[in-house]
Each structure stands twice: as C-alpha cells, then as structure tokens.
A and B are shown apart, each in its own frame.
Chain A
C-alpha cells in the first residue's frame, strides 16, 4: 500500500480522476441541453420527420441506446484511440484536433510571453515605490486592462487598424506557421496582443505583491547587512524569490489558454481548439465536443505537471517534496 502514498502515484491518480469527472460532466451537460444532432442538422424540418425516420436517424447516430451505454461506447473508443467522427464534415476528431491544436498552442505560448513581458517588468516598477504615483498609475492601467472585455478590445483594435490603415491580415484566410510563417505571425499579432493584455494584470499583481512581501523578509535585510548593492539585491535576492508565485500564476493562465481562447479565435478567425468545441456545440456533435473537451482537460493536467517541473527549477525546496 506504500506506493499509494507516493507523490507521483497520487498526482497521476488525481489527474485520471479529474479527467473521468470532466468527461462525465460534459456528457451529462450535452444531454441535458434540449435538442440533439437530428434537430441540429434538420432544423425546423426535424418536426416533419416521421417516427420511423426519427427512429432510424436515432439508430444512425447511436441515440437509441441507453445513456450509460452511449458513455461507455464513447469511452471505449477513446481508450482504443478512436476519438469519434464529425458527422457533418465526415472528418475524424483526431484529424480536426491535429489541425486546430497547433494553432491554439502557438496562440497560447505567444500570449503568455507577451503577458509575462508586460506583467513582470510593470510589477517590478509598481513595487519599486509602493503607494507613489508610478505604482498608482500601473495599478490603474492594470485594472483598466482587466476590466475591458477582451472581445471589445479585440473588435475595436481590429476595426480601427482595418479602417484607418487597411491592415487586416486575418481577413485573408488563416495560414499556419508552417504554411506561411510571415503571414501567420502577422495574423497572430492582434489576438496575441489582446490575450497578452488580459494576462498581464494578474501577473503584474502577483509580481508586485510577491516583491513587497519578499522585501520585508529577514534574508533580504541580512543580504543588505552583508553589503550587497541595491541592484544586485533586487535581482538576485528579491526578484528571484518573487518569481515563484508568478510561475504558479502563469501555469494556471497557460492552462486556460490551451482550453482555447474562444473569443480571440472567433473574432480573428483562427481555427483553434476553442472554435472546434463551438462548432461541435452548434451542430450538437456529441463525439466532437466530448473528445475535444477531454483533450483540453488532458492538456490542462499536463500543463499543471509542467508547472510543477518549472517549480522545481525555481524553488529548491520543491525538489525534495
């Protein structure tokens, strides 16, 4: 029984439980919402279908089986590598994901970078003189960035650039990084900026709070008493320690982004994982939604594990835990 207590076994166990929970919840939610694949694909015409037609359609979509059977059929498929097929486009979910996921990952990585590049230096700046004008100004703009909804910022930015400068790279149809790196990066600029601006405020606040707390630590005073010059003190002793909570924060944000930045993907027409879920939902493509959500959840869990690894690099104490 000893191995059950081992931290790694526990983490993996927790992860599996989380994924099972997510899959059941998605499954139930999809079926609680009124309507199914038949009403979604036939629209109002679904009402004119004869009972026989409905029955054969239900048999076709597998809706005639009991809910547990439907769930376990799907689960068995997932476990054997079959994520299901989109019935409207006749493309497998695996293929769909293979196309969408790289775009989402690219978007998430770039957005996190922008969020960190904005948030950490501004957090340092705000913490440098707490309560003074510099601090107040950064805090105010961070609050502003946090409160402006990203769909608004995205729309305003995009239409302003399009109308006044005729620059709207996202209008030409999406190119992946492999297909056309130049155009792809141009297309990514706006969504990355919009997402980065929404990530920066929490990063800024975390950095600022951590710096202020660490500055009051005994070991900082001891370093001063050792004669460490101010600049070195700020970087080697204070910032280095302050980054530990920032890592946690960033990991969480990254996880959310991998779930698909739905708004940004929709407005800037980026075929990412968020759009895939949305498309599946409007078509009531049960398999697409269930499998994609499961993939997103898996990514989230993986990112959390990754955060733990980074944690071990920045916090030596985590290495023995």
Chain B
C-alpha cells in the first residue's frame, strides 16, 4: 500500500515495498511486510502502532542499524537519489547523524554516562567534519541553547546524570539536529517523559525541525499524540501499514478496523467506564495530615515527599492520585500499604491507625490491602511458574494445603480471564498485558478489600491498557473492591476514578470528581496537566 504523495514538496525519504526478516530460534519472522511511504521536506509523518507492530524496526532500517539477526529482505529506501539498502557501511557511517538524525526513546539510557554532555554534541560535529575545536564547542553551546537548555555554557561541562529526563531528551534533540539533517527519525521521543515535559519537548523538536525543513518520521504508540503533532498519520499493524492519511481525516473517519479500535481505546478520546457507586459507603482508608520526609545526603533540610496529605478511600470506589514524577504519589501509595511509616499525621484503616498494627493484626492488614506495581516485567519472579506466583501469598499466609491452593489458582486465573493452563507457564512466555493480569490475580489471592495500583497500566499498549481497565471495573462490580489508583495520566484516571486527587510537590492541590476537575479545573497546575494530554486540543475542538 502506497501513501498518497504529499503535495508540491520535495520527497526526501521514499520507502518502497520494504520487508524485514528476523531469524530467531523459531525460524524466520517477517517483522515488516511490503511497507511503502514517503516523507517530504518539512513534513511530519507519524507512524502509529502497538509494541511489536514493526514501527521501530522500520526506523532501524532507515538508519541501517537493525539488530544482528535482522536483515532487509526486500524493497528500497531512497534518501534523495541514494538507495540506503544498498549503501556500503562506510557510506552509512557518513550519512548517519549527518543526513539522518535520530531522537531515541529513553533519554535515561541514550547518553554515554562517562562523557560530558558538550563532548557528545561536539563529537557529532567532529566526526562529520563540520566543525572542530573551539568552533565546534561554540556551535554545541548554541545548539544546546536552541534545544531549550538554559545556561548552556555551564551545562556543557556536566555529565548526563546531572540532567533530568526532559533535559536529557533536549540534549539528544540537539545532538540529532547538530548536523542539520534532511531526515529526522523520532522513535517514541517522549513516551518516557511526564506529560507536561512531553509537550514542551515536542514543541521544541517540532519548531527546530521545521526551521531546518527536515522530513520528520515520528514513531509513537499514541494515536492522539500522532494526530496532534503530524501532518499525516500511517497506522501500522503486524508489520504492515494498514491505513494512512492526513491526521485530521484519519481521526474523523478511520477506515480500517484496527484504527477504529485504537481510537476507541485511546484514553483521551474514550468514554468513562466507572463502576456504579454503592450507596452510603463507609470509609475504608483515611489519611489525615500525612507527612513523609526523606533525608538527602549533603543537604541539611529533609525533603518533604508527602506534605500534609488528606485522602479518603470509600469502600467499593476508585480513588485516583494524579501527578508527575516526583510529585509524591508513589510515596503516598507506600504509606497506604504501610511499606513505610508516616512521619506525621495518621493513616487509618477501618478506623485503626495502621502504624500501631503488630503481629497478627499487621498480617491481617497486609492480607486486605494488596499492591499491583507498574512494571509487569520486573514484578514477577522469572523462576516461578505463574501458578507459584499466584499461590505465593496463600503460602506466605499459610492458607490451605497444596490441593486447595491449586484450585484457588485456577479460580483466580479465571477471574482475570486467563486460561488455567497458564499456571504451568513462566513469566517470560507471557505478554505484558498477561503478566499484569497475573499480578492482579496474585493481589486478589487473599481476598483483599483495597488494591493499590501504582502506575499499573502505564507500561501497557492502549488496547491492552483498555482491557486491564475493563477488568478492574468488572472486578470492582463483582467483588466490591476499592482501588487506590496512582497514575501520571489524567486521561486514564478520568476513565476509572470516582474521586481524583491532583498532587504536586508532595501536596494535594485539588480534588473532586473527575468530570468536574476536567471541565472546570481550579488550579493552574491541573489546567497545565489537562492541556498537556495529547489530543486534548483535538477533542476540545
């Protein structure tokens, strides 16, 4: 399928019938099939798809930096008149960074930790012979400033670990654009950043790229973000481009079934799925004036992670805390779980101050309050079978014998819609969404009343995320569960929460029911959060 050519502008990048094959232990796997697309100078083409759809492989092909077991098995990639699939490695080294810039996904891992920031940008200029010595340094400082790094002169001599995630991504953008490339590949450039930072970084990148007149290939899993940032959007599914068109048209009138599903699942656009509230619910957990301080080495004053937080979780309801990284929302969750004790105020569970719980009472509390964590890859022991993972809480709390536990595992897996046969599998055989279901099954093993979900759906693709949210809501209807739902994503929170608390710098800045907060936010910070939701401008329009 060929994209409709962009009008009247010079086509810089032309991909024709591109296919990529990976040789794996299970034989040859075709990751990209017959993909054709064009990007014109000054144009942004977004490629949208879920993980495993082949979108990152496509980017790797343009740079000819495929993993060792992958090869381009057919098709051409033309950069102006040059076929990149046939270029020599030496030729490619001269092109990479010079004519094709790359902004990678995770700013935390993409800068060399032992090299100064400035040196890494100077290197890009030097290896392509564009500038040397003092001239290169001056240019690098200018580039850093342009990318939005204030006090670039001083920060030039710092190391990556002295920069925040957003700042590092700006450095990577400066690096990618250092040689004024004709093509800019942006592979999920902001998915690791907070929403408000994401917006600023994307603004900056878009502005710089358009000043250069570069052709931008923007890879993202977020359809709303793509629609907001790109001129045209191509939807990729299982290695193929299933639909492509101007951004606004594609959103307004999706043709392909998969595009429609993506749109329906996008949190910014989907309708709320909140469970019905049970009348006259008692309060399960009450936090009053909770304070948590951490001492920081080299500083006299302790850091106030949680500052005078009041929070109420009624039985059978979902209470959400929204905020950016460092806002104190995870620490609040840890206080609710009593993984840490508060330094001030109180946390009461069913009327009892949980800091006073000891021995059996504490075990009973632990049984009725269960966590589900963010990373479905890190939170399951790789050497346990799924059955062992789910049964572990039962074993720890000495509930039942081997036979009844096995039966319980089957029931629990059924509750989270996984087949009983999964009990004998290992975590690495499962997808991210399946693993998160297992984590929920484990949390449910002890019949808890409150489940604390700390960014439990953030690492998942939209379609999978939607399924997990549906599961949460149906379990709530069925079992009368309460949730403390921690998320950085206001759009997701709106879908499932009965009450929303907005947190910033350790404090609750605003709270209320989600619709009110969305429609008429009082605080400036809340307004910023809402404005930063990708696709917000589209739905508002």
Contacts and interface: CB of A to CB of B under 8 A. Distances in A.
A227 B175 CA distance: 11
A258 B137 CA distance: 45
Contact of A317 (B97, B113, B175, B179): B113
A219 B297 contact: no
Interface residues of B, number: 31
Interface stretch (B2-10, B101-109, B260-268): B101-109
Given A227-B94, A317-B113, A317-B161, A222 B127 contact: no
Given A217-B109, A221-B65, A241-B114, A227 B93 contact: yes
A48 B192 CA distance: 83
B109 A219 contact: yes
Interface stretch (A144-152, A159-167, A228-236): A228-236
A218 B104 contact: yes
A320 B158 CA distance: 12
Contacts of B295: 5
Nearest to A222: B110
Given A218-B110, A219-B110, A225 B159 contact: no
A55 interface: no
Contacts of B175: 222, 226
A144 B234 CA distance: 57
Contact of A7 (B96, B109, B115, B297): B297
Q: How large is the interface on A (under 10, 10 to 19, 20 to 34, 35 or more residues)?
A: 20 to 34
A225 B96 contact: yes
- Secondary structure at the B interface, as helix, strand, loop or mixed, is loop
Contacts of B172: 222
Contacts of B297: 5-7
B123 to A, nearest CB: 7
Contacts of A229: 93, 127
Contacts of A244: 114
- Secondary structure at the A interface, as helix, strand, loop or mixed, is helix
B164 to A, nearest CB: 14
A218 B94 CA distance: 20
A32 B109 CA distance: 54
A317 B159 CA distance: 8
Contacts, number: 82
B105 to A, nearest CB: 8
B408 interface: no
A224 interface: yes
Interface string A299-319: 000000000000000111100
A225 B127 CA distance: 12
Given A224-B65, A226-B123, A226-B175, A219 B97 contact: no
Interface string A207-225: 0000000000111011111
Interface in A276-298: none
Residue picked from A5, A7, A221, A227, most chain B C-beta under 10 Å:
A227
A218 B96 CA distance: 16
B95 A222 contact: no
A315 B127 contact: no
B63 A225 contact: yes
Contacts of B94: 227
Contacts of A314: 114
CB-CB nearest 8 A-B residue pairs: A227-B97, A226-B97, A225-B102, A218-B109, A316-B159, A227-B96, A222-B110, A218-B110
Given A219-B113, A222-B111, 19 more contacts: A5-B297, A6-B297, A218-B104, A218-B109, A221-B104, A222-B110, A222-B175, A224-B65, A225-B63, A225-B97, A225-B104, A226-B123, A226-B175, A227-B97, A228-B123, A229-B127, A237-B112, A316-B114, A317-B161
22 contacts: A6-B297, A218-B109, A218-B110, A219-B109, A221-B65, A222-B172, A222-B175, A223-B112, A224-B65, A225-B63, A225-B97, A226-B96, A227-B95, A227-B179, A228-B127, A229-B93, A230-B93, A236-B115, A240-B112, A244-B114, A315-B113, A320-B162
